[in-house]
Structures are given as structure tokens and as C-alpha cells.
A and B are shown apart, each in its own frame.
Chain A
């Protein structure tokens, strides 16, 4: 049996660890891990931006909190790049695929709270939105 936790947030500032604590219409979903699980088996993640600032950056996840064994886990999952357009023209949409890691094998303690953060590093790309799903069992 699989269980999941999905969290999302706007990540709008470079070099700032941003807590993912919302889930769209659910403002404060539970971040308590299911009971009887000891591993994060899969991670899904995606991010894209409005291209409001020029630059290049990478995006990574931080997994922490009382639930995570072996210290904070950090995972790169995406990168992005934007340039301003010529006057009178528009940039194309930035539609990112889904990062999927289906054998993550991260040790956790059941019924504890997990902290999920996403961070943009490099240059500031403007406003971005990130979503992360953790899969257990």
C-alpha cells in the first residue's frame, strides 16, 4: 500500500530555503508521516517560473525535521534559465516536466513530522512555484 504527502509553495527569492506547507485549497495539510512506514520510497517534484528576471538557477529539495534519519537530505531536481525578450515580442511558455525518483530509499521514522523545503540557487529567476510529493510504502 502506498501513502503520499504533497506540498507546494511559491519560491520567489534566491538562496532562501522556502517551507512547503500548503496544498492548494488546503492551507495547512498534515506533515505527519504515516504510521508503520520507515522509508520514503519515491519523490516527485516540479517547478516553473514567470521569467520575470534574467539568469540561470538550480532548484533543490531539503528534507528535514524529526522524521528524517541520517540528517537533512538535499536533492537537486531542476534548473531554469530566462532572458528578457526583444521589445514587442513574447517569450515562450516554460512548461517543465516532472522529476521522478521512484527508489529514493530515505530512512524516516513513522508518525513524526517532516519538513520539506525548496530552494533556488544561482541567479534570481523571478517568481516560481514548486510542488513536491513524497511517496511512502
Chain B
């Protein structure tokens, strides 16, 4: 048994809008995120997301995972929340969160990852998600 780590990230620029995470930094088109052959399950997600707070607003962030690679259908997971009274002077770094799960998968099929913000529009939210497979 071992784990395989696959990630995607992206910018969510509109509130209440499902936005697919399709890039990975310097890789602008990493292609489909496929369930590895012999994978049995998603054993955890590592999620992180933060707003640039270009607008004085408050929002909550979550990710959706969907696609034919998920045997039992789509799932969703809270990531965090941001807010600020002003658009100046805010700054923060924070570590990602590791969430242990047990989601059955279908090998060699695709998984789609979406980021979404709800509440008020803060400007831009950068969202990252790592899918960890047990193989």
C-alpha cells in the first residue's frame, strides 16, 4: 500500500460560481486528473484557499470533486473563510488542511475539482486541492 498525491489549483473570481481548478502553477494545462490504475479510494484531501481581499467583504470557500472517477458521485468539502473591513493592510499565511476520507473511486477515470466562494465577492480567491489516492 502506498499513497499517490495529485494536485490542481486555480483562481475563483466570481461569487456563487463553480470554477474548475485546471492548472498547477507552471503547468497551465496539466491535463485530466485520472484515478491511478489499482487505486482503491481517495484517502484524504489536502485543501487550501485564500482571498486577496481586494474588496472589503466576507466569504466562505469550498471545493467540489466530481466526475466519472467517483464511484458514488460528487462530494464537497469546506476549505475556509475570509473577510476584511478594509482593503489595506491585510496579510496572512496559513497552512493547508489535511482531511482524512474514504471515497471509493473508479480506476483510470477522470476526477474534476472545482473551487467556489459563497457570501460576498472578495475579489479573487486562490484555491488549491490535493487528492490523495490509496493504491
Residues of A participating in the B interface, judged by any CB pair closer than 8 Å: 14-17, 39, 45-49, 51, 54-58, 60, 63, 69-71, 73-86, 89, 91-92, 94-99, 101, 104-107, 119-123
Cβ contacts A to B, 17 pairs, < 8 Å: A17-B26, A56-B52, A56-B126, A58-B49, A60-B130, A70-B2, A73-B5, A74-B7, A79-B128, A81-B82, A81-B90, A83-B87, A84-B88, A91-B91, A120-B25, A122-B126, A123-B124
B91 CB to nearest A CB, Å: 4
Per-residue contact bits, chain B 88-126, to A (CB 8 Å; 1 contact, 0 not): 111111111010000000000000000000000000111
B126 close to A123 (CB less than 8 A): yes
A12 to chain B, nearest CB (A): 14
Assess whether A55 is in contact with B127, with CB atoms less than 8 Å apart.
Answer: no
CA distance A75 to B128 in the complex (A): 9
Query: Interface residue tally of chain B, by bracket?
Result: 35 or more
Knowing A60-B9, A86-B89, the reply to whether A77 touches B53 (Cβ < 8 A) is no
B26 in contact with A15 (CB, 8 Å): yes
**Which label, helix, strand, loop or mixed, suits the secondary structure of the B interface?**
strand
Interface residues of B in 28-50 (CB under 8 A from A): 36, 46-50
Most buried by A among B3, B5, B90: B5
The answer to whether B9 and A121 have CB atoms under 8 Å apart is: yes
B129 within 8 A of A: yes
Interface of A is mostly: strand
Cβ-based interface call for B4 (8 A): yes
> What is the count of residue pairs linking A and B with beta-carbon distances less than 8 angstroms?
162
Residues of B within 8 A of A (CB): 1-7, 9, 11, 23-26, 36, 46-54, 82, 84, 87-96, 98, 124-130, 135
A79 touches B46 (CB 8 A): no
Known A70-B135, A81-B50, A83-B53; contact A60-B94, beta-carbon cutoff 8 A? no
B96–A76 touching, CB < 8 Å: yes
